[in-house]
Amino acid sequence: MSRTPDLHRQFLPTDRSGAAASLTITDDLTVNDTANVSTLDVTTAADFTGATVTGLGPGLSAKGNLLTHNGTLTVELTPGTNGQLLQANSAVSEGIEWVTFAGGEVNTASNLGSGEGPFGTKSGVDLQFKSLVGASGLTSFSSTATEITATHDPDRCRVNRSTDQTGIVTATFTTVDFENEDFDTNSFWDAGNSDYFTIPTTGIYLIFCQITWTSTANGDRRLKMQLNPTSPGTGSNDGTDIAFEAQRGAAGSSVGQSVQYIGSLTASDVIQFYCYQNSGVNRSLDVSQGPTVCTIVRIA
């Protein structure tokens, strides 16, 4: 049966000098007159483990106070100020202390140098960066977990002829006809419409065309580049000439000609090439003497 002694100060054991002596408690203890108990040091023995001790003084004296141990006695730790955090600190007697949380750094971001930078703005704690977008027809981006790779990948094409273009009528502008595609990244050329090119994206382009005539001493040889004929593929020859080259035929020697253009073009513009000879008879473009080729590259 559990015993609950009712103890007062005058019944607590003392030594010969009158000082309080140690009291070993082996059963439940209730201290009713806690107001008159200034210090009660309890040592928990192995055979006292798990016992319930109520009414011990000194009681917590204020809201928010905590009990801790300073290595010798149970002591009371008063609360910190609003916003403080409790942390362990072996350098203070109580072993714990209230501290003011410094918080994270207040950061922003900026772009260095005079060029265009990737940082956009800071919204709260969110650093917002601009996206990298490749110029259409010029640049593409790929990424891994650690890096971004920019690839110069311009719109471009190159086509040629592998056989002679024969039957070029004298004193008549005739479209240069192509047969084979070396590369075409964005549908400039179509084998079904083999004598003209369609510009896929607006930009600045470099265009080059070369032909070689069979040898003859008679008449002129001409090559021109034309922009936006009204009826591409029909030989209408009514567009705007943007490059032109002419020379005389040479006896016993083939005649090579080329035209070049660098300039702005708009998506859906059409490029067509015309050759001309006035030797008095039909002539040919001779691929055994030199290539019939066209290259188009977007450069900006």
Residues 6+ apart with CB under 8 A from 19: none
pLDDT tens figures, 27-47: 555 555 555 555 555 554 444
pLDDT at 36: 55
Interior/surface letters 283-297, b for 16+ CB within 10 angstroms, e for the rest? bbbbbebbebbbbbb
4 pLDDT above the threshold of 80 = no
pLDDT at 250: 79
pLDDT at 50: 42
pLDDT at 213: 96
Q: What share of the chain is helix, strand, coil (3-state, %, to 5)?
A: 5, 40, 55
Ranking 68-72, 167-171, 200-204, 219-223 by mean pLDDT, the lowest is 68-72
Tally Cβ neighbours within 10 Å of residue 225: 23
Ranking 81-90, 179-188, 197-206 by mean pLDDT, the lowest is 81-90
What token pair was written down for 160? 């040629």
DSSP output for 54-93: ES-SSPP-STT-EEEE-SSSEEEE----TTEEEEE-TTST
CATH T-level topology, domain 156-298: Jelly Rolls (2.60.120)
pLDDT above 70 covers a percentage of the chain that reads: 80
Residues 209-217 have a mean pLDDT of 92
pLDDT at 176: 98
Instruction: Give me the phi and psi of 284, to 5 degrees please.
Output: -130, 155
User: Band of the pLDDT at 52, cuts 50, 70, 90?
Assistant: very low
pTM score, whole prediction: 0.62
Query: Which residue is it, tokens 């300073």?
Result: 70
Cis peptide leading into residue 58 (ω within 30°): yes
Residue 20 exposure: Cα atoms within 13 Å on the Cβ side = 13
Q: Please give the residue that has the higher pLDDT: either 179 or 139.
A: 179
pLDDT tens figures, 238-281: 999 999 999 998 788 899 999 999 999 999 999 999 999 999 99
User: Band of the pLDDT at 83, cuts 50, 70, 90?
Assistant: confident
Burial class, 298, CB count within 10 angstroms (exposed 0-12 / middle 13-18 / buried 19+): buried
- Domain parsing of the chain, residue ranges: 1-59, 70-103, 119-152, 156-298
Q: Please give the residue that has the higher pLDDT: either 264 or 64.
A: 264
pLDDT tens figures, 101-125: 877 777 778 889 888 889 899 888 8
pLDDT at 46: 44
pLDDT at 245: 98
Ranking 4-8, 187-191, 197-201 by mean pLDDT, the lowest is 4-8
